[in-house]
Structure formats: structure tokens, C-alpha cells
Amino acid sequence: MIESILSVNNMVTAFKTSDGLLPAVRGASFSVKKGETLCIVGESGCGKSITALSIMGLLPSNGKVTEGSVMFENKDLLTLKKEDMRSLRGNEISMIFQEPMTALNPVFTVGYQIREPLMIHHRLSKREAHQKGIELLKRVGIPSPASRMNQYPHELSGGMRQRVMIAIALSCNPKLLVADEPTTALDVTIQAQIIDLLNDLKRDFEMSLIMITHDMGVVAEIADRVIVMYAGEIIENGTVSEIFNSPQHPYTRGLLSSVPNVDDPDFHLNPIAGSLPLLNEKISGCRFHPRCPHAMEKCKAVSPVTFEATPTHSARCWLMEDEEVRQHGGQRAGTL
């Protein structure tokens, strides 16, 4: 049994708004093992990014983790002192962002920005940091890294900038990398390159990866395990093959049938009806029931508990309570 490097237990993140305290993440629990890639999927606004920012301790000032714990190597990140958390960030836990266009400071050279974490955390001299920076750029596949060090972000292409971001994030050999939709803003060929790069680097640096995405194609490429979020709740958690081959929750099935399949001429996109509820919307029972094609009376009244399909695969849906309905669900999933 490989020990987990990060475990999030019943984390609730809420935002102070004029309507009062609104929970954006409602009791998330999951763990990431050493060397594992965990994908967090879900539609925009379901709390994926907020989960990541909560782990990093980088929530906007009106957001706060109100319950639960985030254990990273036996330290609770939520109770850590500000300075201790800062020395962890960029050093042991790093993050890369969605928009390579805006995630680099436009007034500094690439070299300056890649040297900075090395000089902050490892106290390298400028010259040493510069050398290390060149090596890092070379490692993330940037041609002629020495001259790139002196260029400004606007002189690089989007894919190149994302590589630079990755190089900066990896500069201090983090144990955990949180990637918030790192490929969303890139075009498809570059996406594939970046995913391959992340896979390679993960192996080389022996780090764990939390990847946030809404692209099921990316998930299939990179994930070991997948958690599916809906309206701030984790509704399904399983290995990548379990999620793709036998999705349990109707929402997960909906997500999978919303992915276009060009190989099958008879395939029709099957979007999930309706849209994500607002944060302040009060929904009794299961938060998905207004959009769920299988909603029962029970779903409207009582919030579902977590059921285990296999030891590694769990979902929060009343359908799983009834063995027969579960069988039916399994068959339907098989036809996808």
C-alpha cells in the first residue's frame, strides 16, 4: 500500500457574500498517493478550482475553509502558520494555471521569473539559479534555453509559455503539482504535447499530480484516479478505468456521453439538460436531482450517502442502493 501524500477530509470552503456564507465546496474528501495522478472533473463552477486553491491556501480574501482538514505529509495545511505555508508553496507543492498568457509577469524576463523561486526557497545565488533555470527550460523542451532566459513573456507562444510555467513550478522539485486546467487555453496539438510532458515529468520528478480539467479526453490520457464534482460535492470517485467503463452516477454518465465520438457515425451528443445550480440555490436531497433523468422521490428528500461499488470506486447516488437499478445502470453504461 503506497502511502498518500495528500489527504483532504471533509473540507468545506465557503464564501462570504451579501447573501451570507455560501459553501462552494461541500465536504470534499479524497487522497492522492505518491506518484499518482488524480483528475478532478466537472463543469465550470462546480468547485474544482476552489478545491485546488483551498489546498494551496490561496483562496480569495472572501473565501475560507470552514471545516475539515488538508493533511500533507502529516501536516494540516489549514492550521499551518502563514510563513510555514509560504515556505511549502512553490517548494513542496506547486501550482500551474490555466492561462499561460496571464500567469507570467509581463515586465520581467523568463529568466528572472524562473530564478525567483530558486532564490527564495533554495537560496541559490543568481548565477547558480540561472544555470538551473537553463537546465529546467531544457528539461521542459524549450529550444535554445539560454537565449530564452532573456526573453519577455510576450515574445513566447502560448505553448512555450505554458512550458515556462511548468518549469517554474517544478524548479524546486515539488512533491505535489496542482495543475488547474493547464491545457484549456492551448490548441489541441500543443495540449497533447503538454500532457505528454506532464506525464514524463511526473515520472522523472516522482511527484504526484492533481489535474483539474473538464476535458474527458485529457482525463483518459493522464489520470490514474478520477473524482467527479458536481455543485461543490464529490459525487463519484474511482480509478480511471472504473469511471470510464462503469460510471455509477448519472452525472458521470452524462459527462461521458457529452464527449463527441468521431469514430462512431451513429453517435449523437447527449448533453445533460439544465445547468449547474447557483451557490445560493437551496436544493433538498440530492443536488443533482432536478437534472437527473433517474430521479426518484427519495432523491428529492434525502441527500444520498456514499456507496461503494468496489473498494476503489464510490459514488453518492441512491440508484446504487437498489441492486437491480445498479445492474440496469451498469448495462446502460456498457453501451456508451
Partner 1 sequence: MSTETVTASMASTSRNKKREKNFVKTWKRLIKNKMAVVGLVIIALQLIMTVAAPLIADYDPSKQNLAMSELPPGTEGHWMGTDNYGRDIWSRLVYGARISLFVGLGAVSLGLIGGVVLGLLSGYYRRLDGIIMRFVDLLFAFPGILLAMLIIAILGTSLVNVVIAISIWSIPTCARIVRGSVLSVKKQEYILAMKSLGASDWRILFKHILPNCIAPIIVFATMRMATAILSTASLSFLGLGAQPPTPEWGAMIAAGQDFMWSSPHMIIIPGIAIMLVVFAFNVVGDALRDALDPGMNLDK
Q: CB-wise, 52 or 315, nearer to partner 1?
A: 52
Site string for partner 1, 26-45 (x = CB under 8 A): --------------------
Q: Quick check: 184 binds partner 1 (CB under 8 A)?
A: no
Report which of 251, 249, 256 is spatially closest to residue 216, judged by C-alpha positions. 256
The tally of CA atoms less than 13 A away on the side-chain side of residue 255 is: 29
Which residue lies nearer to partner 1 by CB, 90 or 329? Answer: 90
HEC secondary structure over the chain: CCCEEEEEEEEEEEEEECCEEEEEEEEEEEEEECCCEEEEECCCCCCHHHHHHHHHCCCCCCEEEEEEEEEECCEECCCCCHHHHHHHECCCEEEECCCCCCCCCCCCCHHHHHHHHHHHHCCCCHHHHHHHHHHHHHHCCCCCHHHHCCCCHHHCCHHHHHHHHHHHHHCCCCCEEEEECCCCCCCHHHHHHHHHHHHHHHHHHCCEEEEEECCHHHHHHHCCEEEEEECCEEEEEEEHHHHHHCCCCHHHHHHHHCCCCCCCCCCCCCCCCCCCCCCCCCCCCCCCHHHCCCCCHHHHHCCCCCEEEECCEEECCHHHCCHHHHHHHHHHHHCC
Select from 29, 69, 152, 215 the one that contacts partner 1 (CB under 8 A): 152
Task: By CB under 8 A, tell whether 103 contacts partner 1.
Answer: yes
Q: Which of 11, 41, 166, 169 binds partner 1 (CB under 8 A)?
A: 169
Using the rule CB under 8 A, give the single segment among 18-26, 149-157, 191-199, 266-274 that binds partner 1.
149-157
Provide the minimum distance between the beta carbon of 85 and partner 1 in the complex, in angstroms, as a whole number.
8
Among 10, 17, 79, 102, binds partner 1 (CB under 8 A): 102
Of 150, 157, 284, 310, the one binding partner 1 by CB under 8 A: 150
Query: Which residue among 140, 168, 176, 218 contacts partner 1 (CB under 8 A)?
Result: 168
Q: Interface residues for partner 1 in 48-87 (CB under 8 A)? A: 56, 58, 61, 86-87
Residue 330 in grid coordinates: 451498469
From 42, 63, 90, 250, residue interacting with partner 1 (rule: CB under 8 A)? 90
Identify which of residues 105 and 157 has a Cβ nearer to partner 1 in the complex.
105
Cβ 56 to partner 1 shortest distance, Å: 6
**Least Å from the CB of residue 123 to partner 1:** 13
Q: Is 156 in the site for partner 1 (CB under 8 A)?
A: no
Q: How far is the CB of 264 from partner 1 (least distance, A)?
A: 38
Binding site for partner 1 (CB under 8 A): 56, 58, 61, 86-91, 94-95, 97-99, 102-109, 116-117, 120-121, 130, 146-147, 149-152, 165, 168-169
